[in-house]
């Protein structure tokens, strides 16, 4: 891919390195960057061989945002639930079983 450069991290898989763009190349070829982000997934834009930003499809960004808004614990989840404000009567009449002839 002529519009990209490998990131400075040596342990990256080749396919990730192929999704990296130098800032000046990304600016000059923004339409291609946009198209590849939609078709191939996140594209990294670097400046001075360091990761700077990631361009990703809006749907993926929305999915990540939704995950970040999830409660951190089960207690928080139930406290934030719309059902937390509903009063439920959980009282039961005692059940002593039935009489069985032996």
d(CA 73, CA 36): 37
d(CA 9, CA 7): 6
Whether the per-residue pLDDT at 2 is higher than 60: the answer is no
pLDDT, residue 50, reads 86
H helices, E strands: number in the chain: 5, 3
The structure's pTM equals 0.51
d(CA 57, CA 55): 7
Name the band, by pLDDT with cuts 50, 70 and 90, for residue 1: very low
Name the band, by pLDDT with cuts 50, 70 and 90, for residue 80: confident
Tens of pLDDT, residue by residue over 16-75, are: 667 889 999 999 999 999 999 999 999 999 999 888 899 999 999 988 887 777 777 888
Whether the per-residue pLDDT at 100 is higher than 80: the answer is yes
Q: Are strands 50-55 and 43-47 parallel, antiparallel or unpaired?
A: antiparallel
> Domains of the chain (ranges plus CATH)?
14-56 (3.40.1620.10)
């Amino acid at each position: 891919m002529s519009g990209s450069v490998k990131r400075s991290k040596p342990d990256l898989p080749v396919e990730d390195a192929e999704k990296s763009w130098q800032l000046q190349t990304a600016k000059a070829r923004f339409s291609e960057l946009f198209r590849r982000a939609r078709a191939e997934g996140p594209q990294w834009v670097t400046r001075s061989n360091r990761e700077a930003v990631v361009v990703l499809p809006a749907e993926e960004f929305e999915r990540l945002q939704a995950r970040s808004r999830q409660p951190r614990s089960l207690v928080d989840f139930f406290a934030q639930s719309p059902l937390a404000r509903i009063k439920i009567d959980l009282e039961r009449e005692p059940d002593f079983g039935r009489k069985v002839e032996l």
